[in-house]
Amino acid sequence: MNMSRKDRQFRPVAVPDVEVAGFWGKWQDAVCDSTAETLLDRCVEAGMLRAIDVEQPSPGVVIPILEWGGSTQMFWDSDLGKSIETIAYSLYRKPNARLEARADAIIDLYERLQDRDGYLNAWFQRVQPDRRWTNLRDHHELYCAGHLIEAAVAYYQATGKRKLLDIMCRYADYMIKVFGHGPDQIPGYDGHEEIELALVKLARVTGEKKYLDLSKFFVDERGAEPHFFTDEAKRDGRDPRNYIQKTYEYGQAHLPVREQTKVVGHAVRAMYLYSGMADIATEYKDDSLTGALEALWNDVVTKQMYITGGIGPAASNEGFTDYYDLPNDTAYAETCASVGLVFWANRMLGRGPDRRYADIMEQALYNGALPGLSIDGKTFFYDNPLESTGKHHRWKWHHCPCCPPNIARLVTSIGSYMYAAAEDEIAVHLYGESTLRAELAGGTKVTLKQDTNYPWDGAIGLTVTLAAPARFALSLRIPEWATGATLSVNGEMLSLAEIVSDGYARIEREWTDNDRVALFLPLALRPQYANPKVRQDAGRVALMRGPLVYCVEETDNGPDLNAIVVPKSLPQAQTEVLSELNGAVAIDLAAERDDTSSWGEALYRTIPADRSAAKVRLIPFHLWDNRAPGGMLVWLQAEK
Amino acid sequence: MNMSRKDRQFRPVAVPDVEVAGFWGKWQDAVCDSTAETLLDRCVEAGMLRAIDVEQPSPGVVIPILEWGGSTQMFWDSDLGKSIETIAYSLYRKPNARLEARADAIIDLYERLQDRDGYLNAWFQRVQPDRRWTNLRDHHELYCAGHLIEAAVAYYQATGKRKLLDIMCRYADYMIKVFGHGPDQIPGYDGHEEIELALVKLARVTGEKKYLDLSKFFVDERGAEPHFFTDEAKRDGRDPRNYIQKTYEYGQAHLPVREQTKVVGHAVRAMYLYSGMADIATEYKDDSLTGALEALWNDVVTKQMYITGGIGPAASNEGFTDYYDLPNDTAYAETCASVGLVFWANRMLGRGPDRRYADIMEQALYNGALPGLSIDGKTFFYDNPLESTGKHHRWKWHHCPCCPPNIARLVTSIGSYMYAAAEDEIAVHLYGESTLRAELAGGTKVTLKQDTNYPWDGAIGLTVTLAAPARFALSLRIPEWATGATLSVNGEMLSLAEIVSDGYARIEREWTDNDRVALFLPLALRPQYANPKVRQDAGRVALMRGPLVYCVEETDNGPDLNAIVVPKSLPQAQTEVLSELNGAVAIDLAAERDDTSSWGEALYRTIPADRSAAKVRLIPFHLWDNRAPGGMLVWLQAEK
């Protein structure tokens, strides 16, 4: 077998197939104990249940438009969808009858709301029924549908209840009638991608290829000429040029997707599209998408990604700007965008393990997405700057509440990102205390138990449990940063040089019950310098340990964090475990510091500040703003 | 005489008393030849003449509000005022019958517009006559009056024509009746300061103390409790809390002015207020203002000023934010605000020469205000970032066209900032090729001719022309940066240590005709480091030569300007005269540069960029964006 040929089909395991403990277990507990219920409470407070309840007065007539929150009302279904999805995953981990009853009640409301033809959308059934399918560019109809589909799949997998799944299948069946190139069909797609990846999930759980085909239709149509959004606007009596976002790049509809090479526009939309494209490439083994996917991947990771895996620096378009433009203090870097990058990276692994994708998946997960949630699961970052003067804090909620349920559903479904299975192979993409139950071709049931304190420690033990010996491959990611990694099976060392391909150590053998794999990934603190084209990081260094980006906080280091200077040769570092931060490993570094106290009154002078030795404490970036509020900084001055 | 006692009264000389050549002469020519007419053309295009012409239909009835440009219409009088003021100064330098006729015609329109009681305001006579004096906080009525008064004084001084001066005296006389604590009087002041300094000019040119008293009334009332803006809002049926700017700090009305110590709010408003306060302190020898003025001065120059003399980093309030918050790429640093800082600094010299003020006046003039004008006088910067990625360029006009006439009137009146006269003393605050005609106490007429290529060269020759020998003092500023300055009179060296006080070399002697003073100010290139509390400048250095801040431009240095590193010991520099930039002195520096071409594709890596020797060309910051468009940078990486 040529391992470098990317023609296999790895699909993420279902969430209930992985039991998570350790690092991610604590985060999942925070979501189960707090976030899941919080999400629902906030949706109710915002009036979302009233919005979908056909027993309530039609909100379009009775409820003043402002009470619906300006323009956010059109995508409320997506917030309910992501909340139900989060609840589903949380119920699997921690049964909660009350929460399940609340979710069931919402699903009942949707059941009653659904049109006889299958259509389902709170806004376009209750507020503007005459506007159904009139403005796909702006109205988020299929985006909402996608999130409800994801919720349906998750709820079915977690509870075995089919009601929402059936509702969404009916809706998807209706979509199959509505969209296409036939007479009276709409040859279009949604301005905000999401339906594409959702339909793939629906196809996988139902085994129905028709949903894959609809997803592929949306992918294939996007950006084709004559342009659907232009024709649609004209049909609807709108001037196509009168588009607030000015360019179809905003929704990645400026070119057919296979011709796209530059990551542009709204960051979340982009990630969701590329995720759907990667899914289609996997399911159809569609090599015609590979070129675009690889070009887009390289584009974002080599020119447009923060060291945190944050993407989309600008608030104005919630998205991408110029190459190498990565401002730290004003970084938008929406939590949802990094969640989306994790989605995409995960799906780029669909045709075979490759650490180019998995390393970034891990980087974005820990440092781009996870900061979006406080350790108690109760507050949320929407934007994720890499520098703060002390005024940036997590919100209880947001006027556009997309991020809280997005990070919550990612955290609670993390098991399905850790492992993927092909017919004869299990890939371990992410490390963390957990147990996988997988079934390979021929019905071989494998249990894989991962014992580790990762990411705080690099020692990882894997124990295979099998009813009978079986031949399959176990592929373990060796992160690019893990210089000096070692691997053994039942105490016998393996040569990584011989078995690593695409960054994965592939152990193909006949496994027997209780076989033990020991992987050691050295977590040395390492400096990270940015390409000198990144003007905002010039003369600066960031510090990483394993997959984690570190930062300094005012609460540990006092004010004026920009006065800290990291010496050229990385100085001696000591680690300390912080119990108040879920056992996180902090790093104490012997660095230097510009003296702000002896400077005097002048704002400018001809002699630089005195510099003296200083102890500096760094903590993992994803944990900042969980203690006393204050300044924070990732990119520190580097001695030149 | 105790020279350090600040109890004298220096007043700026009138603009026509100074003939300017050399550096400033070229800038004045650009305004005379282009800007002056451009200003008027743009005002006409915007509809301003129609707005003040009583023969035209009342704009409030006939002209849709949007045609008046949203909210900008209320202060159009100020734009016409500043334009007339610019024209006045330009006429003195270069007679221009056509331009003078156009100004006369506008003045005639104002004459016809003026109410019988003396009131004069295009908006509140023509559009909302029922709203006169109802909202001083927001409506700019006295602000507009102030600019028309400044125009009147300038036009009278330049042309000898009294019509506008008489109009504005009638208006000011009416104000004296309207404002005060008597019954039916308004105990208030304008939200946007300007009238205060304008009334002082009016008093000085007319000799009428009553105008000073009104100015002092406005200064004294500001911020007093019970708060005028609060009472005014209630009287007008508005909720005082419903104030878009949220705090009276926006217009420096949060405290009585004598209790203010922190520079806050809208930067231009702040500068105009402090200018008026300094004028009042000078005219009344009012020491009760000194404490606040000095505290405010120290506050802005030690905590809130860019190295360029730019102030007000934020666009949101067009003003001040937190101490030491000086972002370079997003700097608002409005041209008008630096013009205002020049105004204020100049007036802080009213009670005696002091280089604390004059050095900053010069710094803000060359580097904060002057960049607002292109060398051809045809385009304008509104905001003045210290870093650009190549997208920031001068405008032909601006929706709020305050900056173009502001920098134009400053340039054309620069002579009155160069020299000030007390009864027995002439102070030279700024150097530049020019000739001053002054009259001291007792009618002594002095002509002082300054020969120099300053700021390109530090050699300054001053020749005194006198009908008969006369005793007076000549005070010459020795800038703080001018280490190694030398001074001689008729070839005889003076000891600066003995005669310098408050940074001025004071030569008190009996002067005779043709006495010659030679001053040499070494213009060594010097590094400037920012207080390490300025996070945006950490690890960076700016370069100055004499009063000029230098920058690098992409057109000279290629892209990736942040890759440039200035060595610790300032390297050898060579100068070159650039004819395409009005004979500016460029500096070629042997520096270093991070290599962007050999870096490779990765966005981040563990090894910093290769660094190699590189020649770097710097040009004066005020001249950037006058050649091929591209990136620009002031604060360069500094070797640590």
pLDDT tens profile B244-285: 888 999 999 999 999 999 999 999 999 999 999 999 999 999
CB spacing of A637 vs B541 below 8 angstroms = no
HSE, side-chain direction, 13 A CA sphere, residue A115: 17
Residue A119's pLDDT is what? 98
Instruction: Name the residue among B339, B346, B306, B336 with its Cα closest to residue B324.
Output: B306
The pairing of beta strand B548-553 with beta strand B611-620: antiparallel
Q: Would you state the structure tokens that stand for residue A45, as one six-digit string?
A: 């407070």
At B57 the three-state DSSP class reads coil
Can you tell me whether residue B234 is helix, strand or coil?
Answer: helix
Please give the Cα distance from B361 to B387 (Å, whole number). Answer: 22
Percent of residues in chain A assigned helix, strand, coil, to nearest 5 = 40, 20, 35
HSE of B519 in the Cβ direction (CA atoms, 13 Å)? 28
CA distance B356 to chain A (A): 12
Compute the average pLDDT of residues B188-209.
97
How many CA atoms lie less than 13 Å away from A139 in the CB half-sphere? 22
Minimum CA–CA partner of B388 in chain A: A535
By percentage, how much of chain A surpasses pLDDT 90? 89
Burial of B420 (0-12, 13-18, 19+ CB in 10 A): buried
- Describe the crossing of helices A76-93 and A97-113 by its angle, rounded to 10 degrees: 150
The Cα–Cα gap between B530 and B527 comes to: 10
Residues of A in contact with B307 (CB under 8 A): 604
Give the pLDDT score at A571.
74
Between A41-50, B112-121, B587-596, the lowest mean confidence (pLDDT) is in A41-50
Residue entry with tokens 């014992």: A451
pLDDT of residue A405: 93
Residue A6: band (very low, low, confident or very high) from pLDDT cuts 50, 70, 90 = low
Q: Contacts of residue B322 in chain A, CB cutoff 8 Å?
A: 389
| Mean pLDDT, residues A486-497 | 97
Question: B276 in helix, strand or coil?
Answer: helix
CA count, 13 A, side-chain hemisphere, A180: 13
Q: What is the pLDDT of residue A60?
A: 58
Which neighbouring-strand residues pair with B471?
Answer: B510
Average pLDDT over residues A240-255: 94
**Which residue in B298, B604, B611 is closest to A530 by CB distance?**
B604
Compute CA distances A77 → A48, A80, A162, B164, whole Å.
8, 5, 19, 66
Q: How far is CA A52 from CA A37, A111, A264, A338, in A?
A: 19, 10, 34, 30
CB A48 within 8 A of CB A79: yes
Best CA proximity match to A331, nearest among A558, A635, A550, A625: A635
Over residues B416-436, the mean pLDDT reads 96
* Across B5-9, B165-169, B229-233, B473-477, least confident range: B5-9
Residue A446 has pLDDT above 90, yes or no: yes
Distance CA A70, CA A396 (A): 19
Judge: A529–B605 Cβ closer than 8 Å, yes or no.
Answer: yes
Give the per-residue pLDDT at B59: 62
What's B186's DSSP letter? Answer: B
Query: Cβ separation of B538 and A563 shorter than 8 Å?
Result: yes
Contact (CB, 8 A) for A538 and B565:
no
β-strands A425-428, A470-477: how paired? parallel
Residues A343-366 pLDDT 10s = 999 999 999 999 999 999 999 999
Q: Do A327 and B322 touch (CB under 8 A)?
A: no
B318 is catalytic: yes
Mean local confidence (pLDDT), B121-141: 94
Structure tokens at B553: 């431009």
What pLDDT is recorded for position A244?
84
Measure the CA–CA gap between A128 and B152, rounded to whole angstroms: 60
Distance CA A467, CA A485 (A): 31
* pLDDT value at B3 more than 80: no
Task: Tell the burial category of A337 from Cβ atoms under 10 Å away from its Cβ (0-12, 13-18, 19+).
Answer: buried
Contact between A511 and A463 under an 8 Å Cβ cutoff? The reply is: no
C-alpha closest to that of A191 among A283, A277, A71, A272: A272
Q: Which residue in A255, A122, A111 sits closest to A169, CA to CA? A: A111
* DSSP secondary structure, A104-143, as one string: HHHHHHHHHHS-TTS---HHHHHT-GGGTTS-HHHH-HHH
Q: Do B601 and A322 touch (CB under 8 A)?
A: no
B chain contacts of residue A541, beta-carbon cutoff 8 Å = 608
Using an 8 Å Cβ cutoff, are B278 and B347 in contact? Answer: yes
Mean pLDDT calculated for residue range A600-616: 96
Catalytic residue chosen out of the listed positions B318, B362, B387, B553: B318
Contact A148, A120 (CB under 8 A): yes
Cβ burial of A106 (10 Å; 0-12, 13-18, 19+) is buried
What pLDDT sits at residue A508?
96
pLDDT (average), residues A279-307: 97
Least CB–CB distance from B565: residue in A530, A563, A640: A640
**Chain A: nearest CA to B334, how far in angstroms?**
20
**Cβ atoms within 10 Å of A45's Cβ, excluding its own:** 10
Buried b (16+ CB within 10 A) or exposed e, B548-570: bbbbbbbbbbbebbbbbbbeeeb
With contact defined as beta carbons under 8 Å apart, do B359 and B341 qualify? Answer: no
Unique residue bearing structure tokens 């509702």: A167
What mean pLDDT comes out for the span B504-530? 97
Structure-model confidence comparison of residues B245 and A534, the more confident one: A534
Mean pLDDT of all residues in B444-455: 97
**DSSP class per residue in B140-180:** -HHHHHHHHHHHHHHHHHHH---HHHHHHHHHHHHHHHHBS
For B17-27, write each residue's pLDDT tens digit: 999 999 999 99
Question: Is residue A510 predicted with pLDDT exceeding 90?
Answer: yes
Q: Give the pLDDT mean for B379-408.
A: 91
In this structure, what token pair is assigned to residue A52? 């979908």
Has B37 been annotated as catalytic?
no
Strand ranges inside A502-608, DSSP E: 504-511, 516-520, 525-530, 540-545, 548-553, 564-566, 573-578, 584-594, 604-605
pLDDT above 90 covers what percent of chain B? 89
Position B459 scores a pLDDT of: 98
User: Which whole number is the average pLDDT over A145-158?
Assistant: 97
A578: left (phi over 0), alpha (psi -120 to 50) or beta: beta
Active-site choice (B402, B551, B553, B592): B402
- Confidence band (pLDDT; 50, 70, 90) for A59? low
Q: Catalytic: which of A85, A150, A221, A318? A: A318
Q: CB of B423 within 8 A of CB of B415?
A: no
CA distance B6 to A389: 40
Task: Specify the pLDDT at position B64.
Answer: 38
Q: Which residues of B touch A322 (CB under 8 A)?
A: 389
Annotate A202-236 with b (16+ C-beta within 10 A) or e (fewer). bbbbbebeebbbbbbbbbbbbbeeeebbeebbeee
Q: Tell me, what's the pLDDT at A67?
A: 41
Question: Is B291 in a helix, a strand, or coil?
Answer: helix
Q: Which residues contact B619 (CB under 8 A, 6 or more apart)?
A: B550, B551, B552, B553, B556, B578, B581, B584, B586, B587
Nearest residue, CB atoms, A301 vs list B301, B327, B603? B603
Name residue, tokens 């085909």: A213
Q: Compare all CA atoms of chain A with the CA of B330 and give the residue at the minimum distance.
A: A330
Beta carbon pairs, A and B, within 8 Å: 136
Distance separating alpha carbons of residues A217 and A178, to the nearest angstrom: 12
Q: Kind of pairing, strands A459-466 and B387-388? A: unpaired
Dihedral sign of CA atoms B114, B115, B118, B121 in order: negative
A300, A360, A535: best mutation site toward chain B, by most B Cβ within 10 Å? A535
Distance from CA of B281 to the nearest CA of A (A): 26
CA distance B272 to chain A (A): 23
Convert the pLDDT of each residue in A76-124 to its tens digit. 899 999 999 999 999 999 999 999 999 999 999 999 999 999 999 999 9
Residues B26-85 have pLDDT tens digits of 999 999 999 999 999 988 888 888 889 999 876 654 343 444 444 446 888 999 999 999
